[in-house]
Copies of this chain bind each other. A is one copy, B any other.
Amino acid sequence: MDRRQRKTRQAIFSAFIELLSKKEYSQITVAEILEKADVGRATFYAHFETKDYLLKEFCEDLFCHLFDAVSDNEKEHAHIFNCNSKDNVFLHLFSHLQKNDNNLLRLLSCANNQLFLQYFKSNLYNLVERELDKTGDNREQDLPKSYRVNVICACFTETVNWWIENGKKQTPSQLTDYFYKVAKIKK
């Protein structure tokens, strides 16, 4: 990718983040993004078909990085973020969230949180499914597997949401503790 393209793309993403933390997604206009990113109108549309596509690509970038980091840790027990390799995946996720990687928290706690939580949840699904398979947990309860996975995802998401809305007072390991209590997953 051309350096100019990278720069433009980054400028647009940065402007977008800043605006998102101030106002609702639907209230943001392309003109505002252009001004803040200092980018021409035609250039914007050369990168993104519409504002919705900007959001989509933006979220994909964001969450891919987060979940890739977690998955890498799972496989190689060591990755770019230098986490404790013995962490379980959920503690790991909570830790990344606390470290505020990629301004993720800023987005999850703004007025647009529902939008991001949605993306967040869908990324979570595979992770939870893998975790359940690993522990053989789902056989113990007389519940459809997809139901159990969905509920656990919802619990995790709600844990993050609650944590943010209540001032982020708990540590990642406390959150993990809470989460395991309500989700009742085998350790």
Task: Answer yes or no: A161 CB below 8 A from chain B CBs.
Answer: yes
Task: Check if A150 sits within 8 Å of B154, measured CB to CB.
Answer: no
* In the complex, chain B residues whose CB is within 8 Å of the CB of A142: 181
Known: A143-B181, A181-B141, A184-B184. A158 touches B162 (CB 8 A): no
**Can you list 28 contacts pairing A with B, beta carbon distance less than 8 Å?**
A26-B26, A114-B114, A141-B181, A142-B181, A143-B178, A143-B182, A144-B166, A146-B162, A146-B166, A147-B159, A147-B166, A147-B178, A148-B182, A150-B158, A150-B161, A150-B162, A151-B155, A151-B158, A151-B159, A151-B182, A153-B158, A154-B154, A154-B155, A154-B157, A154-B158, A155-B155, A182-B184, A184-B184
